[in-house]
């Protein structure tokens, strides 16, 4: 069984991953180009604590499309090595980090400078989870003939919001920041 450190060492940089995306690339790059890190204490604190980020993701995932650029901006500003491993290529890692029994992504594993897992974040900020939960509550039952069509509409609407609502990016940043501050303070 591979360790998180081994997955990290074998991972692709988040920059290379985003450049090679085949799905949702334009949307993800828009978030990356437009998201501005707040002027707060996080980056300076991170520079004093050597960490690495390992992001479990896939490029078809709308949540990852919005979240990975925020993680990348934090990592770049703090000189943190952020790497990516694909959830579907090897499910052993994601199966160690399930969310409510599911393989939800993205999951950001936070490693110390020796590659030990010290924390994790994901798959969503609480405020974004609430939005998703509200949308899901309006879906018909899975057995309903309209379920697939309505689910597609929901995903399309959420994707649009993820790309065009900077407040959602701020929720991601704030939630990720809270996780990091609890680990390094």
In this prediction, residues 115-132 reach a mean pLDDT of 97
* pLDDT, tens only, 40-96: 999 999 999 999 999 999 999 999 999 999 999 999 999 999 999 999 999 999 999
Is 113 within 8 Å of 50 (Cβ atoms)?
yes
* pLDDT, tens only, 150-179: 999 999 999 999 999 999 999 999 999 999
At 185, the pLDDT band (50, 70, 90 cuts) reads confident
In this prediction, residues 178-185 reach a mean pLDDT of 94
Whole-number pLDDT of residue 101: 95
* pLDDT, tens only, 9-44: 999 999 999 999 999 999 999 999 999 999 999 999
In this prediction, residues 3-13 reach a mean pLDDT of 98
User: Which domains are seen in the chain, by residue range?
Assistant: 4-184 (3.40.30.10)
List Cβ neighbours of 179 (8 Å cut-off, separation of 6 or more).
110, 119, 120, 121
Whole-number pLDDT of residue 155: 96
Burial degree of 67 (CB within 10 A; 0-12, 13-18, 19+): buried
List Cβ neighbours of 12 (8 Å cut-off, separation of 6 or more).
20, 83, 84, 85
pTM, 2 dp? 0.96
């Amino acid at each position: 069984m591979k360790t998180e450190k081994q997955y990290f060492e074998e991972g692709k940089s988040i920059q290379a991953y985003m450049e090679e995306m085949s799905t949702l690339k334009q949307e993800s790059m828009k978030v990356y180009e437009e998201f501005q890190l707040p002027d707060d204490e996080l980056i300076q604190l991170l520079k004093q604590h050597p960490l690495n980020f390992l992001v479990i993701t896939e490029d078809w995932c709308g949540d990852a499309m919005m979240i990975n650029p925020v993680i990348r901006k934090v990592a770049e500003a703090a000189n943190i090595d952020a790497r990516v491993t694909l959830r579907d290529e090897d499910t052993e890692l994601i199966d160690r980090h399930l969310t409510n029994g599911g393989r939800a992504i993205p999951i950001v594993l936070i490693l110390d400078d020796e590659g030990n897992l010290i924390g994790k974040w994901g798959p969503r900020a609480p405020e974004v989870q609430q939005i998703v939960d509200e949308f899901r509550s309006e879906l018909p039952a899975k057995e309903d003939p309209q379920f697939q069509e309505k689910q597609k509409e929901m995903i399309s609407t959420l994707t649009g919001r993820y790309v065009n609502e900077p407040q959602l990016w701020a929720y991601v940043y704030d939630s990720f920041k809270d996780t990091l501050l609890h680990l390094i303070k």
